[in-house]
């Protein structure tokens, strides 16, 4: 059974930082893809960042370029989303997804993708 669990959300002021963490079970291997997506209630889920653990290929959405960074920790069992200079428009529920196939250049995780329950990020102006 594949499990995905996010943590690290919260409420901050504009300009502040947060780090989201995504833990996977079983352990993430080099063939895994992971990504962060976000959703505002009533809107479609949008891709924020994707990483292919095998070669470290990453990509982030234009809306967060230069502010957000996706990375894998040394144990390759946790994916981090470092979010700096947060803006009110970054407020959303952030979901971590895990897949065996992806295209970071297209910010896509391909089926079957396993999702966590999401973590709320709220940025106040």
What is the rounded distance in angstroms from the CA atom of residue 109 to the CA atom of residue 91?
A: 22
pLDDT at 23: 87
Residues with Cβ < 8 Å from 82, sequence gap 6 or more?
17, 19, 68, 69, 70, 71
Four-residue CA torsion sign, 70, 73, 39, 119: negative
pLDDT at 28: 58
pLDDT at 14: 98
What is the rounded distance in angstroms from the CA atom of residue 99 to the CA atom of residue 35?
A: 9
pLDDT at 87: 98
pLDDT in tens, the chain (125 residues): 778 899 999 999 999 999 999 987 766 565 689 999 999 988 999 999 999 988 889 999 999 999 999 998 866 678 999 999 999 999 999 999 999 899 999 999 998 899 999 999 999 99
pLDDT at 54: 82
């Amino acid at each position: 059974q594949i499990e995905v669990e996010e943590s690290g959300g919260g409420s901050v002021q504009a300009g502040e930082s947060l780090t989201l963490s995504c833990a996977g079970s079983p352990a993430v291997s080099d063939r895994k893809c992971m990504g962060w997506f976000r959703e505002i209630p009533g809107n479609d889920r949008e891709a924020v960042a994707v990483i292919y653990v095998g070669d470290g290929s990453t990509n982030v959405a234009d809306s967060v370029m230069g502010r957000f960074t996706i990375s894998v920790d040394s144990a390759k069992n946790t994916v981090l989303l470092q979010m700096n200079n947060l803006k009110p428009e970054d407020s959303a529920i952030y979901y971590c997804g895990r897949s065996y196939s992806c295209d970071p250049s297209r910010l896509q995780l391909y089926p079957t993708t396993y999702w966590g329950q999401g973590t709320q990020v709220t940025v106040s102006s």
